[in-house]
Amino acid sequence: MKYSINKLSRLSMLKIRKDEEKMISKKVLAIGELLEKLDSIEPPKEAFVLAPEGTHERNDIPSNFNSDEIIKIFNSVKDRYAKGPKTL
């Protein structure tokens, strides 16, 4: 099962007490249902970028910001930083 409490608790180093198990399972399944909706869409490649420091313009992507460059760097290091434990 994708959202097995045992697997998830081991992955996140959390001990679930017997009396919490039912409640946490319900919460995990409820969040899981929300996640599954993401499967049905195909958004564009570029990720959300936070506004740079000190500005509050509406189109707040700075002119010297090259997202292709950032994504290239990101792709080259993502195995080091972006991926979590491989225990699941």
Partner 1 sequence: MNLEGYSLLSILKEIERGSINVEDVNDFYYKKSLQLNDKINAYITLLKPDDKKINGNLKGIALAIKDNISTKGIKTTCASKMLESYVPPYDATAVSKLKEQGGRILGKTNMDEFAMGSSGENSAFGPTRNPLNNDYVTGGSSSGSAAAVAANMAPISLGSDTGGSVRAPASFTGIVGFKPSYGAVSRYGLIAYANSLEVIGILGKYTKDVKFLFKLIAGRDPLDSTSLNVELNEKEQFKPKILVIKSFVELSKDEVKKEFYRSISKIDEEGFDVKFINSFSLTEYLLSAYYTIACAEASTNLSRYDGIRYGPKVESTGNWRDYITKARSFFGPEVKARIMMGTFILSAGYYETYYLRALQLRKLIRQEFEKIIKGYDALYIPTMPVLPWRIGEAIEDPKMAYASDVLTVLPNLTGSPALSLPVGRVREFFVGGQLIGLRGDDIKVLKIAEMMEEILKVKDDGRN
Q: Which is nearer to partner 1, 20 or 65 (CB)?
A: 20
Q: Which of 65, 68, 80, 85 binds partner 1 (CB under 8 A)?
A: 85
To which residue do tokens 């195909």 refer?
42
Report the C-alpha dihedral over residues 71, 77, 81, 87, rounded to 10 degrees: 110
Q: Which of 43, 64, 68, 77 binds partner 1 (CB under 8 A)?
A: 43
Q: How many CA atoms lie within 13 A of 16 on its CB side?
A: 17
Residue 40 gets which letter from DSSP? G
Which residues of this protein are in contact with partner 1, per CB under 8 A?
A: 3, 5, 8-9, 11-17, 20, 23-24, 26-28, 30-35, 37-39, 41, 43-51, 53-58, 60, 82-88
